[in-house]
Chain A
Amino acid sequence: MSTLLRDYMPDITSLSIPQILAIRQRLVDDLAINWPTLDTRPTSVAGDMIVSPDATLIAKAEAAVAMIQSDIDLANVASGTVYNYNFVKAYLANFGVTPSAGSNATGTIALVFNSPQNYIIPANTVFTFGGSSFQITAGSGDPVVIYANDPSNRASASNQWVLHQTDVNAYTVLLPVTGAPGSSVSDGTAATYQLTIPQLIGVTAAGDFNSGKPVETIQAMATRAQQAFAAPSLVTRSGALSFLLQNWPQLVNSYVTVTGDAEMQRAGTNPLGIVDGAMDVFVKSQLQYSNGSVNIPLVYDTAQGGWTGALSLPAIPACFAVTGIFQTANFENKQSKNIIYSQSLHPTTDSLAVAFSKYEELGVFVTDQVPTNFTEANIGNVSSKSVNNVSLNVTGTYNSHMFNTSPSRSVIVSMGGAATWDGLTAVQATVLDTLTSERGTVYFIPNAPGSPSGGMIATDSPDYARMLNGLQLTVVSPNGGFTPADYAGAVFSFAFNGRSAFFTINYLYDPALTQVDTVLQASNNRPIGIDVVTRSFMPCYISRFTVNYRIGFGSTFDAVTAQTNIFNYLSSISGPDVYEEAQIGQIVMNAGASGLISVDKEATFFPSLAKTFVSQAGVQSAVPRFPTSTLQVPSNSLGLSEMNTTFVIGKNTIIFNATVR
């Protein structure tokens, strides 16, 4: 890899005068440190004989060093900036990256004669197809001998070719040919040649030629070296991408956002003012997502008039789309009004910035007909380990909660000490669900102003809605009134369930997400100080895609192929590429159309599957959605960009309208 600086030294005319003068001034300043009185002005002896020539040489050397630095930066080489081909080639060879050998184009030609005779074809005969030249493959004989029939007295069976009658006056022999890599020849293409054999009536390509593979370019080698040797760690964006490529080469797309990116919505600063490191890893393992289905119990909320519960999807960290909610034995809930809720389970991020990850918990609320198969609401007997003969009475109907996974609870309510709630004297109590191990805090307040006969649960208690929603709990002491000391230490247990039914949820998901997330979160891989969240690409659902094309009278249009190709195109768009109407035009033209008139599109970008986000404090806010008729990503919107979004469309959504002209 030895190289000399002179190999890179540019001609002085390629340097700018201001550049050299700046270096000259640098030299003057440096010299003034040790020789402050030396006259280095132009026309002085030192100025003209030392400083100016040296400045010129240094300028050339600096330019040469810059070019060397560029040549060892594989990103520059990969983008096509190469100053010294031989040096870069030797440099890449140090990494074991050498140009992969190309292969010639190959094919078979049919020589058709009008007479069954023996023929001699010189081995170096050139057959030209358009601008591509081919010769008979070496080893086929020199010269190539073609026999009229199969002579039994041949010395050898190799390299001897025999005519076969293919028509009344046509005798054909097939010969292998090779040409320069990249030469493309289609079946049946006629060749030109210099042979002077009167009986030879034509030479054509017998089948499509294999165009071979050109020798690998230096740019391609640099790209290969980059991919092979980039540090596959999760510390940097390129390292993370390299890590993903190395571990899951089957990913069709991946993208990484880090702190500072416009797409990163959950980075912040810690109390010391230091920026928290955050990295979102978006993965997409297949063009078409997998279909999943799960039965979940939902509870009828008598207050809201609908069925609700957590959209709990076991074994996958996040679903990508809900395609149907219905009750298997009763009705398909196509006309239902479904509201999906979202809340963040992330320890520090209480926003949609964790959408489409395992940290986003989804809940559902379904308004529809009353399902036939359901379990009635029930409240079991209350057991008490009471003090002072305090009793608990439970009435009402359990309405569950949009993030509850179970329609039943078996709780232990432990009364604590005195407290204040809503400005009233209260008793604080803890609630433990023995089925789910959930814990919560509720408050009991006087059941009437002035002179209460006991206490009742405050329905605005912190965990009432989540754990006891819809139930009325009252406590009574034999002492009468509501004196907290009378209730302290009382423990009650009881079970209850809401009116519940099982619903079937159909959804789309990316099966690789779990696997990728598991590996990224492993302690061996997870970087220190950087919070990594694995997410699915954010969807843009295309609800209308009507292609208006023009077609000539009498022409046919292959709608099935066009539909498939458009579907594949839309499903495979990944950043930085964006939707291009010209691609649709190309597809319909290939399918037989004479032109593309327009494409009517309706789609929506979804920052979350949910319609409502519920903060950890219980505050609900609407999730914006971004409708589009251009399929262009809205800018600066909740972290959406062309790099982390994907298009989702059903094949049947793609329809065609023809205008015959």
Chain B
Amino acid sequence: MIGVRINFSGAQPAFDWSQTAVDFDSTVQNAMVNLGTQLGSDSLFPDKGTYILQDAAQGRMINLQWANNMSNFAAMRTLVFSKNTDVPGDKFGMQALTLQAAVFNVNRLQLAIFATCVDGTTRGTQVTL
């Protein structure tokens, strides 16, 4: 499975046309896109997306515990969506996805993402909201 690489490390996510996201990396990348997509914004896939970005922007994450709570919901929703849209039998499908608030203060929320492939492979990264 090969997809266009998206660079999440900049101020805004950007396509990196020179590189590709391959196999489980592509699955993880799709999950990160799903996390950042607002739920209900795609008429074809009503279950696509989460409320995490909206909640962060609107100040609903009042403390670390609350941020973790919302992150868990977003991770679970993303995992379900990923499993529903994976090609059946795909050996690079998502097995588990956890989202944990690593840094929480007034200015930023940094989330640690851990994804586990059906073959046991794991990927971990951090994103800042």
**Which residues in A have some Cβ–Cβ distance to B below 8 Å?**
12, 17, 20-21, 24, 37-39, 41-46, 48, 52, 55-56
Contact = CB atoms under 8 A, between A and B. Distances in A.
B62 to A, nearest CB: 29
Interface in B35-53: 37, 42-45, 48
B4 A46 contact: yes
26 contacts: A17-B43, A20-B44, A21-B44, A24-B44, A37-B1, A37-B2, A38-B1, A38-B2, A39-B3, A39-B21, A41-B85, A42-B30, A42-B42, A42-B45, A42-B85, A43-B31, A43-B33, A43-B34, A43-B37, A43-B85, A44-B26, A44-B29, A45-B3, A45-B4, A48-B42, A52-B42
B86 interface: yes
Contacts of A21: 44
Contact of A43 (B4, B48, B87): B48
Nearest to A51: B44
A interface, by DSSP: helix, strand, loop or mixed? helix
Contacts of A17: 43-44
Interface of B: 1-4, 6, 15, 21, 26, 29-31, 33-34, 37, 42-45, 48, 81, 85-87
A48 B1 CA distance: 15
A44 to B, nearest CB: 5
A173 B102 CA distance: 102
B30 A41 contact: yes
A55 B31 CA distance: 22
B30 A39 contact: yes
A37 B31 CA distance: 18
A38 B48 CA distance: 20
Nearest to A12: B43
A392 to B, nearest CB: 94
Nearest to A56: B44
Most chain B Cβ neighbours within 10 Å, of A12, A21, A39: A39
A505 to B, nearest CB: 78
Contact of A45 (B1, B6, B87): B6
A48 B81 CA distance: 14
A17 B42 CA distance: 11
Contacts of B44: 17, 20-21, 24, 42, 52, 55-56
Contacts of B48: 42-43
Contacts of B43: 12, 17
A56 B26 CA distance: 24
A642 B81 CA distance: 58
Given A42-B30, A43-B31, 20 more contacts: A12-B43, A17-B43, A17-B44, A37-B1, A38-B2, A39-B3, A39-B30, A41-B30, A41-B86, A42-B42, A42-B44, A42-B45, A42-B81, A43-B37, A43-B85, A44-B3, A44-B29, A44-B30, A45-B3, A45-B6
Nearest to B43: A17
Closest 5 pairs between A and B when the two form their complex, measured CB to CB: A39-B3, A45-B4, A43-B30, A43-B33, A39-B1
Contacts of B34: 43
Given A17-B44, A21-B44, A46-B3, A39 B26 contact: yes
A21 B26 CA distance: 22
Contacts of B37: 43
B48 to A, nearest CB: 6
